[in-house]
Structure 1
Amino acid sequence: MYDISGDGSEPEMRFGESGWVWQRQGLSIGGTSYARGVTVQGRSSVTIDLNRECTAYEALAGVDDMTLKLGKVYFSVFADGVPLWKSALVKGGDSAVPVRVDLTGRKTVRLVVEPHNHLDDVAVADWAEARFICS
């Protein structure tokens, strides 16, 4: 995961360029429980400064089970403004989608969730077991 405040030596979220974020312990996607993760709204963008050499970002992305199988979204990962990964449409009740992107040489990461339509803006989306692999 990443910190929301720190000394600039670890990955940190940019408050001014990020939407609502809920760092959680215990969440569920597609009936599977995960120990930790980051929960966002169905339309969100979170920018993270890596602040060190990182080689990868890994997570399991999906619609949180608290939505009662409602909501359809797309997940994307950008680094330094370049799109690196985008999911197919993920629906409430679907299993989490594995995410792994190479971050070698990158400085910033932006995690994006886009709703399928305007009704999905209120969906609750998760980046479960999210972690940066850094030296």
Structure 2
Amino acid sequence: MRPDPFNWLWRRYDLEVDGTTYPDGVSVHAPSYVVVDLNRACTSYDAVAGLDDLSADGGAVRFKVYGDDTPLFASGVVTADSGPVPVHADLTGYKTLRLVVQDAGGGPLLNLADWARSRISCR
């Protein structure tokens, strides 16, 4: 895993998005990215993406998933009021997975973004 060198990645347990507790995931501030080298034949990435309940009101982000440099998933604007979004991306044939969070308003102090229940399925 290669996190954005200008941001941090917080591996967490029991993170909360919209009042729901998820057993595991990662939190980042927007804007940021994380690259995962797949190192074997993987078939899919699944997660629940949203603003963490620790975020202050007013945050807004967009979540994107890439296989190598190919866009595989893009959310609309996600806020605390809109709740989390399910993420699914087909990874067949890709060597890297890149998870991107873009600021859509509010700035980094308000945009604590979660990739909750992240799962990469491989053969």
Normalised to the residue count of structure 1, the TM-score between the two structures is 0.84
Aligned residue for 2:96? 108
**1:64–1:125 CA contact under 8 A, matched in 2:** yes
Q: Is the 8 A contact 1:79 1:108 kept in 2?
A: yes
1:55 corresponds to 2:17 = no
Letter in 1 for 2:73: W
Q: 1:80 aligns with which of 61, 65, 68?
A: 68
Unaligned runs of 5+ in 1: 1-12
Q: Flag the structure with higher strand content.
A: 2
Paired AA for residue 33 in structure 1: T
Q: Give me the whole-angstrom Cα distance separating, in 2, the residues matched to 1:31 and 1:133.
A: 27
User: Does the CA-based 8 Å contact 1:77-1:84 persist in structure 2?
Assistant: yes
Structure 2: stretches of 5+ with no match in the other structure: none
SS at match of 2:40: coil
The alignment's C-alpha RMSD in Å is 1.6
**Structure 1 stretches (4+) deviating beyond 6 angstroms?**
none
How many residue pairs get aligned? The number is: 122
Counterpart code for 2:108:
D
CA contact (8 A) 1:62 1:95 kept: yes
Q: Percent same amino acid among aligned pairs?
A: 44
For 1:1-135, list aligned pairs within 5 A: 13-15=1-3, 19-117=7-105, 119-122=106-109, 123-135=111-123
State whether residues 17 and 47 of structure 1, in contact with CA within 8 Å, keep that contact through their aligned partners in structure 2: no
Q: Is the 8 A contact 2:3 2:9 kept in 1?
A: no
TM-score (norm 2): 0.92
